[in-house]
């Protein structure tokens, strides 16, 4: 019948377009079967390499003065709200500084906490001129604290050979700077030994 011939021609043409690599004899052989399995050729996808965004180097950060605090911003009153935020952060971290809280547990959490905004005092030092400096920590680096005092003076105090005290809700903690020579980001993963004697 005429419809049968049209169907046969259509199927042959369809197979030819679908499987261009196959010869006519092979297509004719496939048509004699009851079932036809069409092969699918996938196009190879080219993987695009993601470009990693590079940050500034330490030298570039110094040249751009990214971490420098402008003289007009060096005022104690400006950073008092930061201190209030820090106090709330520590209370949440220690689940409230209650009188029955275990001191070593609070001490352990304070050692790993972020100190930006804390009010500290230098209580002991091998350099007498540092003793008595009190203020809010504005920046913490591996070897130094940058502290703004009530007199609106920005002090750079080294951690080495200094002992700092930190008071919050009647709880006083001492920070031995010589054992604290870490960046704030590294300190959260470090295990501190709370026992034993510590010298300057």
Q: Using one digit for the tens of pLDDT, what is the confidence trace for 169-186?
A: 878 888 888 888 888 777
Domains delineated in the chain: 74-189 (2.30.30.210)
* DSSP assigned state of 2: H
- Token pair belonging to 149: 């005092």
* DSSP assigned state of 117: T
Nearest-angstrom CA–CA distance, 106 and 123: 20
When pLDDT is averaged across residues 147-176 and rounded to a whole number, the result is 90
pTM over 0.75: no
Q: What's the distance, Cα to Cα, between the start and end of the chain in Å?
A: 106
Q: ∠114-117-121 over CA atoms, to 5°?
A: 100
pLDDT in tens, 9-65: 787 777 777 777 777 777 777 666 656 565 665 667 777 777 666 777 878 877 887
Residue 114: half-sphere exposure toward Cβ, Cα within 13 Å: 14
């Amino acid at each position: 019948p005429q419809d049968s011939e049209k169907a046969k021609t259509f199927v042959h043409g369809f197979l030819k377009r679908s499987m261009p690599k196959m010869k006519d004899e092979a297509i004719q052989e496939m048509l004699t079967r009851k079932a036809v399995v069409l092969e699918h050729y996938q196009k190879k996808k080219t993987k695009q390499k993601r470009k990693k965004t590079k940050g500034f180097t330490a030298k570039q950060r110094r040249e751009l003065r990214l971490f420098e605090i402008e003289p007009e911003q060096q005022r104690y009153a400006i950073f008092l709200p930061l201190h209030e935020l820090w106090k709330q952060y520590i209370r949440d971290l220690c689940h409230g500084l209650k009188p029955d809280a275990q001191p070593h547990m609070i001490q352990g959490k304070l050692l790993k906490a972020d100190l930006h905004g804390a009010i500290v005092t230098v209580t002991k030092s091998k350099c007498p001129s540092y003793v008595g400096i009190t203020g809010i920590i504005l920046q913490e680096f591996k070897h130094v604290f940058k502290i703004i005092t009530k007199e609106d003076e920005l002090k750079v105090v080294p951690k080495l050979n200094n002992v700092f005290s930190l008071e919050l809700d009647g709880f006083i903690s001492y920070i031995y700077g010589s054992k604290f020579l870490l960046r704030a980001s590294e300190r959260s993963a470090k295990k501190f030994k709370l026992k034993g004697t510590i010298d300057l």
